[in-house]
Structure 1
């Protein structure tokens, strides 16, 4: 079949205001109606950093019909205290009658140009399993998962298996004036993560302000002790799952955690749902609480990540990597680790008295350094897999004994969790 890149009938272009209604209808049809509602909120500029120019459309010139589309959601991630500019590929859809013609690859090439223009260091996508590896992405950060528990099970045995609170705190729906005060609680909730998404008060306001029928409608509730804010939790109604989703929670005491959990169950019952899904990282206290109450763990999927420039990325996160080495036996270390990426370049990770500099011209003998694919090294660099994990699962992943200790110190396996920024 003729590739789109060789067919002048089809054109990839940046969306304009004239495309708004057509894009809303397209995504509502290709995905589901709530996705169309969400598309409209993005196109109207409600999300900080997103506008119509971040949408691509692939148009049939003969009919002026949109047959494929995607958008770029700019965001900031935090890695060890370092801010990283990230592009997320979202709402990637093709009309069923036009699939199999290379349209996604055609749009991905244009997206790469947009990412370079925005100086993004990472690109990420949720997406279909197995598809995006063809475009250089690799599973690297846990996505969603959590604990599923029925209301009946919790009511029947939950309270006897978990500690009871000293008192139940009050809670209420958050209002815009609360968001600046809630940001530090979010920061605390993600502090233990190697990689997390950054959130501003403006982004919080956008998320809470989405229409109820939007794909990503969410409600934030403030926990209070007297007039003082002591935490928050967020709920999402899911008719598709027949469950209330507890999407985030952060509290200072067990009284606060319990109040959030109890409120989520009461909201699920009031909405006619039969279950609660705690879509929280495994480090969150309520994740373990729900399991002891009889919940079933749902293994997380994973964000798929592509490093757009390895040298610039590693030099950007140098403060985090230097701090990691300084807190170990490799404090003030002088030495190097050569990483040969078989499907890309060779990285020379050099330390001089504890200061890091990475370049792409490293040379080493066959027995030195690390041999890996880009995908393997991506999982290692983001703490998703340890070197031992990779050695067990990939016979072609190799690490020289002389640098193995330094490599594991530089890139240990650590927890991460990305909450969506939309």
Structure 2
């Protein structure tokens, strides 16, 4: 059966549907969780001779436990071989909420995407994505996003549009020791449920540093404390930064699992009255002491360094400096899909209008026409307000069109989500261009801005 035939059948599934050769596509039940885990454990291995990946089994059990704060047992979508009873392809939907400059929107996150090697190149993953996209749309999500292997998800309408990971390494040997006779001025202490209001309030303040960030519901903070299994390798440990009097001065989020020689620190924040440089030496020494106690993944190497995975920009980097953290970890990217771009741009219009009002273009009136070569986007502003955001196609005769710019399909998403500036994209892609007026407006509407988007697993 062709990819096209599978896609036509599964755009909006509500009941099991046959996809050929005795294969059935449907949503999961509690009875499927172990079989989905078996498939994921087999597929997510580095080498053919490796044993099944036990971390994936534990993660699938968490997602299908009925206790997970974000997803439910029926949000796995799978293909079952009715001849053998095996799950041969699957993925799991995790509904999340992101913030774009303070404007919230729903995101459908597909994860643990897997096909058994014997069933590949039959269009099964495309069928799963069609079903997932339909369900995500019914839920009102404005976007879908996934962390994943290079290139693959571009096939399904995703663009690597938003920064993911990246940071600074600190070698243990470079961490300054405590001087003789001195006492640590700050200590790290595991957070309890009573501490979560402090952590949540500080995290919400930190969201303002990022263009895009994850909204973390209270139930998920509780889940990270005592819900998710350590065996899954997912999630984080929340550690409070306390002074000698026990006052909370900040927090640090550390991965539940240490992969190899690196302890991954995924978020750090301090209170408004705390200078970043003051607790940092104590925090570094405490993390170094903690690293050998963190459960390890497949590679059980002794720890020798920290990785502050805060993206391209963070106050901690200024404090660490090149002396302590000279080596950078390469930034990767979230894959993002925006099925209704005009609708999304209209949704975040308050952010765009705020940028205009704070710029020399305050009160701007005019049109911007974005040519994506297959389709396009028309934006009309009146007195600094976005009054029109609609699909558009460049006319055949348009040499006198003002306020025009061009981007290859989906590349505009990199500008929208702050990953690259317009001029950077022009250097990367010869077919990105803009008229003088459009370039001026686009530079104000879409400046480059870093994002720290935590994965909620």
Fold equivalence (TM over 0.5): yes
What do residues 360-392 of structure 1 show as CA deviations (whole Å, max 9, x unaligned)? Answer: 247662454112223211111111111111111
Number of the residue aligned with 1:203: 220
1:264 to 287, 298, 306: 287
Q: CA deviation at 1:411?
A: 1.0
> Does 2:382 match 1:380?
no
Number of the residue aligned with 2:308: 278
Structure 2 runs not aligned, ≥5 long: 7-18, 45-52, 295-301
Conserved 8 A contact 1:249-1:260: no
Conserved 8 A contact 1:120-1:308: no
> Does 2:86 match 1:65?
yes
What do residues 170-197 of structure 1 show as CA deviations (whole Å, max 9, x unaligned)? Answer: 3311112211221121123332211111
> Whole-Å Cα distance in 1 between the matches of residues 206 and 312 of structure 2?
12
Number of the residue aligned with 2:297: none
> Does 2:167 match 1:136?
no
Number of the residue aligned with 1:298: 329
Number of the residue aligned with 1:309: 340
- CA pair 339-217 structure 1, distance change in 2 beyond 3 A: closer
Number of the residue aligned with 2:10: none
Conserved 8 A contact 1:149-1:290: no
> Whole-Å Cα distance in 1 between the matches of residues 367 and 285 of structure 2?
52
Conserved 8 A contact 1:11-1:58: yes
1:22-421 to 2 correspondences below 5 Å: 22-31=35-44, 32-151=53-172, 153-155=173-175, 158=176, 168-209=185-226, 210-225=228-243, 226-236=245-255, 238-251=257-270, 252-253=274-275, 254-270=277-293, 272-288=302-318, 289=320, 291-343=322-374, 345-357=375-387, 358-361=389-392, 365-366=398-399, 367-368=401-402, 369-421=404-456
- CA pair 261-284 structure 1, distance change in 2 beyond 3 A: farther
What do residues 59-86 of structure 1 show as CA deviations (whole Å, max 9, x unaligned)? Answer: 1122221001001111111111100111
Number of the residue aligned with 2:47: none
Query: Secondary structure in 1 aligned to 2:355?
Result: helix
Query: Secondary structure in 2 aligned to 1:41?
Result: helix
What do residues 15-57 of structure 1 show as CA deviations (whole Å, max 9, x unaligned)? Answer: 0111122222222232221121111111113332310121101
Structure 1 runs not aligned, ≥5 long: none
> Whole-Å Cα distance in 1 between the matches of residues 346 and 256 of structure 2?
42
> Whole-Å Cα distance in 1 between the matches of residues 66 and 222 of structure 2?
13
> What CA RMSD, in Å, does the superposition of the two structures yield over aligned residues?
2.3
Q: So what's the TM-score if we normalise by structure 1? A: 0.91
Number of the residue aligned with 2:299: none
- CA pair 290-201 structure 1, distance change in 2 beyond 3 A: farther
- CA pair 402-279 structure 1, distance change in 2 beyond 3 A: closer
What do residues 212-245 of structure 1 show as CA deviations (whole Å, max 9, x unaligned)? Answer: 2112042111122334322111222545322222
Query: Secondary structure in 1 aligned to 2:161?
Result: strand
> Whole-Å Cα distance in 2 between the matches of residues 270 and 115 of structure 1?
39
Q: CA deviation at 1:398?
A: 1.9
Q: So what's the TM-score if we normalise by structure 2? A: 0.85
